[in-house]
């Protein structure tokens, strides 16, 4: 750690390394506790861990492709914080509208993981010829959305951003019902 670069790299690398090690620690804890239940249960944890880790490892590229792109954008101040208003400007959005649009979109983006997982879960249910489950989850999500709109927009005084929050929360609810 002779240079400022060495210190900066160490400051980033140590937490990243520890984060990577935490998943196997969870698995070890599960094995230690479930092992007290019996051999078949412990074997099930082992088999599921292998299958689960293998199937999720396929998406590991997201971590390693996202990191350098975001780092490069952040180093040139071309981050998502700048990209969002720029995209609205390209659409011809007025500054008055943009004052509401930018925070709305940022909060609305909180539901993106829920939407992706809901797509997967919907595909699973459809694959089993069950389209009613997604109808039920979407219905409850929409009922919750109406209530959350009223609470977030007016009750909490969040205005337009409250609508984005209500939508994001209801989409997470939709996924959780399917899960």
Instruction: Give 80's pLDDT tier (boundaries 50, 70, 90).
Output: low
Q: Which residue has the higher pLDDT, 116 or 58?
A: 116
Alpha carbons within 13 A on the beta-carbon side of 15: 5
pLDDT of residue 88: 81
Question: What does DSSP assign to residue 179?
Answer: -
The predicted model scores a pTM of: 0.63
**Mean pLDDT of the 131-136 span:** 92
Q: Which residue has the higher pLDDT, 74 or 36?
A: 36
Alpha helix segments (H runs only) across 128-159: 132-149
Alpha carbons within 13 A on the beta-carbon side of 47: 6
Residue 77 phi/psi, 5-degree rounding, is 60, 25
**Mean pLDDT of the 101-105 span:** 86
pLDDT of residue 103: 87
């Amino acid at each position: 750690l002779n240079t400022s670069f060495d210190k900066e790299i160490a400051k980033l690398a140590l937490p990243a390394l520890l984060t990577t090690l935490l998943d196997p620690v969870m698995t070890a804890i599960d094995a230690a506790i479930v092992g007290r239940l019996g051999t078949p249960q412990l074997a099930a944890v082992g088999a599921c861990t292998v299958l689960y880790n293998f199937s999720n490892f396929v998406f590991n590229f997201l971590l390693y492709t996202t990191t350098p792109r975001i780092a490069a954008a952040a180093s040139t101040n071309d981050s998502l914080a700048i990209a969002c208003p720029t995209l609205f400007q390209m659409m011809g959005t007025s500054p008055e509208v943009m004052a509401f649009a930018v925070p709305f979109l940022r909060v609305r983006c909180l539901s993106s993981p829920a939407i992706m997982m809901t797509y997967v879960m919907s595909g699973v249910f459809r694959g089993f010829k069950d389209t009613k489950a997604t109808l039920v989850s979407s219905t409850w999500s929409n009922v919750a959305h109406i209530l959350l709109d009223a609470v977030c927009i007016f009750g909490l005084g969040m205005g337009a951003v409250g609508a984005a929050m209500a939508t994001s929360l209801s989409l997470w609810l939709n996924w959780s019902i399917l899960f």
